[in-house]
Amino acid sequence: MQQLEFELTKEFRDRFQEALDQRDQTFIVEALEHVKAADISALLYEFNSEESKYVMGLLSLGTQAEIVRDLDSDTRANFLKIYESNEIAGIMNQMDSDDAADILNELPIKIREEVLSILDIELRIQVTELLRYEENVAGGLMAKELIKVRVNWTVVQCVEEIRKQAENVTKFYTVYVVDEFDKLLGRVSLKEIMIADARKTVAEILEQDIVYVGTYLEDTEVADMMRRYDLESIPVVNVQGQLVGRITIDDIVDVITEQAEEERQIMSGISENVEEDDSVWRNTRARLPWLLIGIGGGLINAKFMGLFEMELQRVTALAFFVPLIQATGGNVGIQSSSLIVQSLANPGFVVEGLWPRLSKVFLVAIMNGFFLSILVFGANYLLFNERSLSLIVSIALFSVVIFASFIGTITPLILNKLGFNPALASGPFITTTNDLLGLTLYFFTVHLLL
């Protein structure tokens, strides 16, 4: 068996570049013979479009299709610019309908129409249907390639039909069973077909209790279902209950990965889908909105502290503890919201009521707040030797922990209720709010006790 760990070393890259410069066909073909398409994709990021196209030309159309599919969408859009429409169609003819539809969607409208018009007739029909759906619903994720049999057939007929259909379907695990109107009735597993007596009918080995989704179900919900039921593929039906496609787990893995990435961006205050290798301008633009919110919060903070200028003039040391109060409020708030976001994302758990949730958060906050306040009181007393100021800081800190926990808990719940992504609450939003909250509580305590 061939070793497949393909590692892109600098040596290999340089040797490959050399071969490319000399158009050394033999070397390139041999070098890539046992390399998987996904690894060739990664390699092509190293070369310019013309060079990549030359390499592609030495590979089979099937491999070319896999490579194009594996490129990330920005790179792909750029790369395909140097291809003619008929070249794109030639490659696309080797793809599954869902991948072809996704890529068509990225092309400029004129090219899209051209390519579509010269695709193989069968693929064209399938793709045209898929183009109707939004990207982030079941219809936009599904592929048209699947294997289906009629409920009244025998197992022998089934096997014949499967042999015929299987040539066009790259990944198949399940055989779907439909009636004469294409209405989904259930499925039979390949295993069942291989084990079953050849004279039985499909109806006899039919598994009826299967999970399916409608074309308009959101991708994240499809992901939740497939994850919950450990499915490797799920059939998609239209409103009439007819089988129109199937979604495979590899697409769902992508959905889950993208979801996690989106959440990370939201949590870190990045407002559009941006990657490190996007342009400087795009990177700047993606960061600005949340920075501006932070700046807005900072200016309000400044104005607010201005109200206490007298107190600050009297006891300058008051200002020393603003960072401590604010940092703790921010940390507590993000911890709280993050736990709620996690619960909301975890479909295995039953939704608890608001009150048990809050009372628990409250208890945790009291424990943390109490512990931290005592500690800070001790530390302050040792560091600054100021009893009344230390007391004020500790009392404010305690209240900040309680309030920040509360806000961190209800914000994601409210956002979720209103249909926003609850992870928004773990981003700079909660930090900015909690900064203001911390300052208010601190100076309120100062005002009461100093």
Rounded CA separation 443/139 (Å) = 55
CB of 153 vs its own copies, minimal distance in Å: 16
Site for its own copies in 70-109 (CB under 8 A): 70, 72
Task: Pick one of 439, 441, 443, 446: the residue that binds its own copies (CB under 8 A).
Answer: 439
Task: Pick one of 239, 350, 418, 448: the residue that binds its own copies (CB under 8 A).
Answer: 350
CB of 146 vs its own copies, minimal distance in Å: 13
CB of 85 vs its own copies, minimal distance in Å: 27
Site for its own copies in 391-420 (CB under 8 A): none
Per rule CB under 8 A, is residue 228 in the interface with its own copies? yes
Site for its own copies in 259-318 (CB under 8 A): 259-261, 263-265, 267-270, 274-277, 280-281, 283-284, 287-288, 290-292, 294-295, 297-299, 301-303, 305-306, 309, 312-313, 316-317
CB of 232 vs its own copies, minimal distance in Å: 6
Rounded CA separation 154/43 (Å) = 48
Going by their DSSP bridges, the two strands 233-237 and 243-248 should be labelled as antiparallel
What contacts 378, CB < 8 A, 6 or more positions away?
A: none
CB of 86 vs its own copies, minimal distance in Å: 27
Run of H or E including 247: strand 243-248
For the record, the structure tokens of 79 come out as 């790369």
Site for its own copies in 114-153 (CB under 8 A): none
Identity of the residue, 116 or 397, whose beta carbon is nearer to its own copies in the bound complex: 397
Task: Pick one of 94, 328, 394, 411: the residue that binds its own copies (CB under 8 A).
Answer: 328
DSSP state of 152: T
Asked if 152 contacts 203 with a C-beta cutoff of 8 angstroms, the reply is: yes
Other C-beta atoms within 10 Å of 85: how many? 18
Identity of the residue, 129 or 386, whose beta carbon is nearer to its own copies in the bound complex: 386
Identity of the residue, 126 or 336, whose beta carbon is nearer to its own copies in the bound complex: 336
Residue 146 backbone phi and psi in degrees, to 5: -160, 170
For the record, the structure tokens of 9 come out as 């070393």
Sign, CA dihedral 379-380-381-384, equals positive
Q: Which of 127, 121, 136 is nearest to 107 (CA)?
A: 127
| Binding span for its own copies by CB under 8 A among 50-58, 115-123, 130-138, 360-368 | 360-368
Task: Pick one of 29, 125, 367, 374: the residue that binds its own copies (CB under 8 A).
Answer: 367
Label residue 200 exposed, middle or buried (CB < 10 Å: 0-12, 13-18, 19+).
middle
Identity of the residue, 102 or 263, whose beta carbon is nearer to its own copies in the bound complex: 263
